[in-house]
Structure 1
Amino acid sequence: MLPRRAGRWMLPLAAVLLVAATKGEKPDPATETEHVVSAGETLSGIANRAKVPLVAIAEANGLAEPYVVKLGQKLIIPRQRVHVVKQGDTGFAIGFQYGVPFELVAQANAIKPDATLKVGQKLIIPAVIASPQVIEIREPSFRRPHDGPVILGWRRRADGGGHEGVDFRLKDGDMVRAAASGTVIFAGKAPERFGNLVVIDHGNGWHTAYGHLQKVTVKKGETIRAGERIGLGGHSGEATGPELHFEIRQNGQPVDPAPRLGLKEGG
């Protein structure tokens, strides 16, 4: 189970202050770097209008759950995050952690996407602001990666946290299959809580991730068909028992797998 933790995020501690040129003029929520809370506002609403993750604003201002804000309170709106490269980090894993394609991270730091990362190197993580979709993106046809019952489903809270996938109960050594055809872009041990992880690129911005594996049986760059084995189930990483954590992401953002797999709680 992999709920997002605000404490994992590395954020700048300072921001440029914006002052309205005319008394009573409201700054643009999409560009302001400081916000004064007005009557009736919530942190969730402020984050939505600013198009900045709630947890990023919370950590920049030292706020803890339930993220209560007060009238007149000044909030720093971080327009970028900073990641300090750790041993074992890869570009893909960093991008996956923050929900930002690593190509954008590389561009923000004036490096090549395949550049060698050094331990201690600081990387700016740009905020991803959604833009209107002009061209319809074809969605792959997904199938269940395992036939076991669902032990924890998709959960999204108003504060932006929750559980960004589904967990299947399985037995150690059970076969885990690709949910759709694609190319393996990560196969190995993830630096955070995923344990042994496989990520498949299905094209058009769609990816699936398979975590807590006992063994990875594919290699990076390998072409996989839907239903083919990509690993064996287990409880690596921070799993609470034998389970498969499964995610679907579109353009780096998690989406609910349940309707795409025909799932319901309990299997």
Structure 2
Amino acid sequence: MIKAKPTAPQNDETQKETKEKHRSIVSIITWVIAVLMILLMSASLYQYLRGQSLLELINLKSEQIGSDNSNVVLPTYAAADEYQSVKRDANADTVLPTGYRKEPVSYTVAPGDSIFGIAQSFDLEPESVLWANYDVLNDDPHLISVGQDLVIPPVDGILYEWKEGDTLDKVAAKYYVDVDDILLFPGNDLDMTNPTIEPGTLVMIPGGYREYETWVVPSVASSDAGVNSTILGPGGCSTSSGGSVGTYTFIWPTPYRVISGNDYWSGHQALDMMCYLGDAIFASDSGVVVYAGAISGGYGNLVMIDHGNGYQTLYAHLSTINVSCGQNVYQGQVIGGCGSTGNSTGPHLHFEIRMNGGMINPWLVLQ
């Protein structure tokens, strides 16, 4: 009979390995559980701290609103018997700028006034003031006089007196605007459903425009080419070609480089320069005097110089004249004194520059 060999040692080794594996697994599980617990605790702590911050913020807002946390009693709701309303007339221009006028006003001309200056004071273009006073100015800005009453339109455009037979379409087309420009202007106070306008009614045409006559002293050129030109009037004379010739440069003819009254614009193609009564007036450039004396048209005492190169300069409203027609003059020479003769509201120099008989803006060439 054969006896089996003992197996106990092998069993001991196997059991030992199994226990080691179990320990490793338990250790890993323990670490995993520990990590999960740490993460869970961190998340809980974050939520707690976040909740505390929000609570502090809420408390802070409450303190800012006020410490009185008592309940607010709201008024008992009661429906009105009828809805309240505010009656409002339709107005195409609901939002009106500050200082906006809808009606024309009257202005009395004061010493030193000009159409340009008056228009500026009412924030208007000078043409608008000129057009509104055609019956007294006849499109000539020099015809204003101290004490004269002028009509000042509310906005730029044409202040028009409605005539028998006029229609909105005809008047709008005549002054280059749309019918709606007339209808919607509040000052016209027109019924949009039946815009009837009685003859004699003053109607404002905002943005309207018309041609007008520009008043200037006409130059009369000699029949011979190159001969000095002159102007008609008692102070004019015939002069032969030659004499002093201009330098094509123009100096200020007054002691001050200041505009007093009208600047250069379409209805006043000259500069009104500041000067005091009796101040010296200088020749702006060299040339030959072709007019020296009084003249009609509102210019008063006038000197005109032909510079022999296509240019002429004109000096108006002088109190005195120091040169004679046909005399050679040189740039900077005194030709007269500042005055207020003719149609003038105060001492100043009306200064024009012409090129081949046409008016040019003196600002383009004055030095």
Normalised TM-score (structure 1): 0.48
| Higher percent of residues as helix | 2
Q: Which has the higher contact order (CA 8 A, sep 6+)?
A: 1
